[in-house]
Structure 1
Amino acid sequence: MITQTSKKPDIALKKGQLIKGKWHHQQYHVVKKLGSGAIGAVYLCVHQNKQVALKISKQSTSISSEVNVLKSFQSVQGYHLGPSLIDVDDYQATNGYTYSFYVMEYISGESVHEFLRRNGHEWLISLLIGFTKDLHVLHKQGYVFGDLKIENLIVSRKPVQLRWVDVGGTTLQGRAIKEYTEFYDRAYWQCGTRKADPGYDLFALAMVVLRVYYPNGFTKGNNPKKTLQQKIHQAVDIEPLRKLLIMMTNGSMQEAEQVKKYLLTYFASRRAKQDHRGKRNQTSFSEDTYYPFLEIGSILTVGGICYLYVTLFM
């Protein structure tokens, strides 16, 4: 979905090209293209021997809007809701036009599909718990991610965490979603409006999970709601996760915090049933945190256990 139109032509940067800011005079050497969307394109660049991500566009208003979102994210202490903002400037191209760009932190990692392929689907719940925690903070800031899709997510390496890398669709709550992708759009599936509210993101997150099970996606058919339910039941073999996706797509779950608590409660209940067969060990953790940490940790690698500890207790 294109949000604005402009007579200015699109710009394509080439490998090795030098981008120099018109006002701040910072220089960026283009390495490769990372991706593109309705607003512009993102490139991996090198600046002062450090890798950064540069987003450039002919739509200066949209660039300014995204910059304001990133600045708002950085005002939340203790959270990395998006890439850190490094620079904002204009670029005078050889075609005579001026293009706006901003430079942000380059998040090193891999796609969700690749990460789960290498490490196993048991990591999916772990990643969701951490992500819904961050999503809850985003919603408290008054924003909705909007264009939440698997292509806009990356699993960072240090620490292992699900992070978003494109804030182009981020919209203030109460407004119309300004950028979306049909497969993840609840209005497309006739499951709600295109108004920015937390439930819109939760629907999209459920579709992200379904994209894990259906890498190539699927069509909505004549009855979109029925299609979703059928696809969920056919592919998702973990019953609590299956129920959760149904609730997230039908709108009965409206807060990211609810999703996180649901996932933790699921693991807690499993651990509680196991502990009925023997005496529970005494620990310094509260009952609410002890069960989910131990249960999730039991299905993860050592690295996964460390990640869950940071996610739940720090």
Structure 2
Amino acid sequence: MINDRYSIINKIGEGRAKVFSCSDKFNPESKFAIKILSYTSNDDELQSFDDEYELLRKFDHPNIITVFSKSKILTLDSFEKTEFHISENDKYFVMEYIDGVNIDRFQDLKSEAVLLKVLDQLSSVLYYLHQANYVYFDLKPENILIVNDNNKPVLKLIDFGLSSYLPELKDDFAKGTAEFIAPEILNKENPDHRADLYSLGILLYKLAYGKFPFDTTGELEIYHAHLQKKFDYPACRYSYKVVKVIQKLLEKSPDNRYQSALEFYDDLEREIAYQSKLNFRSLFQFIPRESLFKSIDTFYSPTNDSNILILSGERGSGKSEVLQYIKKVKTDTVLIDISSFIRSSSFWKQFFNRLIYSDFLYNHIDEYLSIIYLFISM
């Protein structure tokens, strides 16, 4: 059991990190997924893992996987350690468990009507991200799960390890999966959201024809095909309207592609009904102000006699982001987010589990144990 709470059931995926299904002792009737990254990973991978969680924590979209908590493995059963090759000090975060299949294995997609319903959801996710200046950069079947919910396909986008905030994108950015990477990334140009649209075109091509628009499997040859090859578009299981959309998505120059994830609806002769009915929480990039720095420093000052700092503001004004920022800059701080607590389980058991197994307190448990006992006895 991880941190006296999560028990691993089995492995469900592995890439830069390992993903397992697991149970939660505070919510035994539900199944969750836990993503674990080895503490021996390089600094870039460790930072990417933290960034992925922070992105998913901010997102509020029905087709994006939901995360609940992030921490470090502090205690671990010996069986799980040897059986699943994980260790103390590994990082993890817990997320919803999706009982679905990769999009290219969803048999109902042979029907164009079903494809369009799935495309509604996928374009909605991409539009949501792009409007907030985020680019996914890793669109491929392995990261798109489809769940059959009462004979209705429900899409979930997972694995945001490469997702980036566009204004902060490094000039030398060159990441992605070979078969789906956009030409402008290979040309070391400045990619934007239209790189995702090219990847969407490759994905749709594979769904339409059952193969990629290039025959080679060598990485360099694949890159050359993205840059130079003129793709063929013979008749397929889908209508000419869909093929026309695929063709434009796969234009070599981003200027010749669609300019948004919703623009191709005109060519599909389809209304944008799905997106317009959804009311998503807007995404924003938190930028701390100088006054906030001063307030935090004053509160943490040894000469400060106040024990309470009250943050107030309207819903969506950024209070949660301020708390996350404080946790980031003040490493001797424990942040407990009760919004993810299980209502049917004991509040205090969950509270103290989060408190004791926090990175800071667990490493200083002897210093604070008397305070915890005093708190419990009150």
Specify the alignment match of 1:210 in structure 2.
205
Q: Which residue of 2 aligns with 1:52?
A: 32
In 2, the alpha carbon distance for the partners of 1:224 and 1:255 equals 21
Whether the aligned pair in 2 keeps the contact of 1:156 and 1:162 (CA below 8 Å) is yes
Q: What's the CA shift for 1:67? A: 1.2
CA gap 1:195/1:71 in 2 versus in 1, 3 angstroms: farther
Q: Are residue 255 (structure 1) and residue 232 (structure 2) matched?
A: no
1:139 positional shift: 0.8
- C-alpha distance in structure 2 between counterparts of 1:105 and 1:261, whole Å: 35
User: Does the CA contact (< 8 Å) of 2:140 and 2:203 recur in 1?
Assistant: yes
One of 134, 144, 154 as aligned partner of 1:153: 144
Matches for 1:23-38 after TM superposition, within 5 Å: 27-37=5-15
TM-score w.r.t. structure 1 length?
0.67
State the Cα deviation string for residues 107-137 of structure 1 (Å, max 9, x = none): 2222223323476343112211221122111
CA contact (8 A) 1:146 1:196 kept: no
Question: Within 1, Cα distance between the matches of 2:114 and 2:175?
Answer: 29
**Is it true that 1:62 corresponds to 2:34 in the alignment?**
no
Q: Deviations over 1:191-246 (max 9, x none)?
A: x656441101000111111221354543256654564521x346475222222112
Letter in 1 for 2:47: T
Instruction: For 2:204, give the aligned amino acid.
Output: V
Sequence identity of aligned pairs in percent?
Answer: 19
Distance 1:196 1:73 in 2: 22
Q: Decide whether the 8 Å contact of 2:183 with 2:226 is kept in 1.
A: no
* Residue 124 (structure 2) pairs with residue 133 (structure 1): yes
Pairing 1:144–2:135 present = yes
Cα distance change on mapping 1:54 and 1:96 into 2, 3 Å: closer
**In the alignment, which residue of structure 1 is the partner of 2:107?**
116
Q: Deviations over 1:7-35 (max 9, x none)?
A: xxxxxxxxxxx222xxxx5x211122121
Q: 1:241 corresponds to which residue?
A: 242
Larger radius of gyration: 2
Unaligned runs of 5+ in 1: 1-17, 268-288, 293-308
Note if 1:164 corresponds to 2:157: yes
Aligned pair in 2 of structure 1 residues 31, 256: CA closer, same or farther (>3 Å)?
same
| Contact 1:172-1:196 at 8 Å conserved across structures | no
In 2, distance between residues paired with 1:215 and 1:168?
A: 27
1:214/1:81 CA distance change after superposition, 3 Å: same
3-state DSSP of counterpart to 2:64: coil
The 3 A distance-change label for structure 1 pair 226 and 57 is: same
The one of 181, 184, 192 aligned to 2:180:
184
Q: Which runs of 4+ in 1 moved over 6 A?
A: none
Q: TM (normalized to structure 2)?
A: 0.57
Deviation at 1:257, TM superposition (A): 2.0
Question: Tell me, what secondary structure is at the counterpart of 1:68?
Answer: helix
Query: Corresponding residue for 1:276?
Result: none
Structure-2 change in CA distance of 1:216 and 1:97 (3 Å): farther
Are the counterparts in 1 of residues 23 and 31 from structure 2 also a CA contact under 8 Å?
A: yes
Structure 1 residues 201, 140: CA separation in 2 closer, same or farther (over 3 Å shift)? same
Amino acid at match of 1:200: A
Report the AA paired with residue 55 of structure 2: V
Partner of 1:297: none
Equivalent in 78, 84, 98 of residue 66 of structure 2 = 84
**AA aligned opposite 1:147:** D
Rounded Cα–Cα distance in structure 1 between residues aligned with 2:87 and 2:101: 37
Aligned to 2:341: none
- Aligned partner letter, 1:163: K
1:40 equivalent in alignment to 2:17: yes
What is the RMSD of the two structures over their aligned residues, measured on CA atoms? 3.0
> 1:186: how far off?
1.1
5+ long unaligned stretches in structure 2: 279-378
Equivalent pairs counted in the alignment come to 244
